[in-house]
Amino acid sequence: MKILKLFNYAVIAILGYFIVCNIIIFIYAQQKPIDNADTLVVLGSQVVGTPAMAPLTLQIRLDVAATYLQNNPNTKAVVCGGQGKDESATEASVMFNYLVNQGIDASRIYIEDKSTRTAQQFIYANEVLPLGKTVVVTNDFHLLRSVMLAKRSGVTDVSGLSAPLRFSNFDKYIAMIREPLALANSWLFDHPKNEI
């Protein structure tokens, strides 16, 4: 009987963590970015196909980034993401081409193509271009963890720009399970300055 009670408490605690964490993630994603940032850092995500293309979730990030860059013409962008084993090109190169096709001048876009994890992207981006006043663009579920990692990477003047996913996008549901776990893992173990 005691074991069953403990099991029930554990299930309630775990469910409670996921619910509270997703609420905090959702609220955090409502923030507004600073205008006229020095740099817009667009975080990478897996690309698909040959030739490589941005899937819908990444396209949403890039569309939000393009709008910000059009409204803030002095802001430069760093697109981030290396090439995974199952990718036919670097994420950053696909993102670069997408933004250029959206009308963003190629001279404003810098490529960071070494990173394979969120925790690395800000360190490597800062090597490509000193970031200064920074806006991070990523999907809504990913924003809280990304800004935390940016600050841990030494990017002190940072705000986030959310690229929200609709509930019709299946990635949203995966993120609601995955991201609370990733946030806890990053909070405990990801210290980018120490691993590069």
Structural domains of the chain ordered from first start:
2-195 (3.40.50.620)
Q: Which residues contact 105 (CB under 8 A, 6 or more apart)?
A: none
SS3 134: strand
pLDDT value of position 189? 86
Q: Which residues of the chain have pLDDT under 70?
A: 1, 193-196
List, in order, residues 6 or more apart from 152 with CB less than 8 Å away: 119, 190, 191, 192, 193
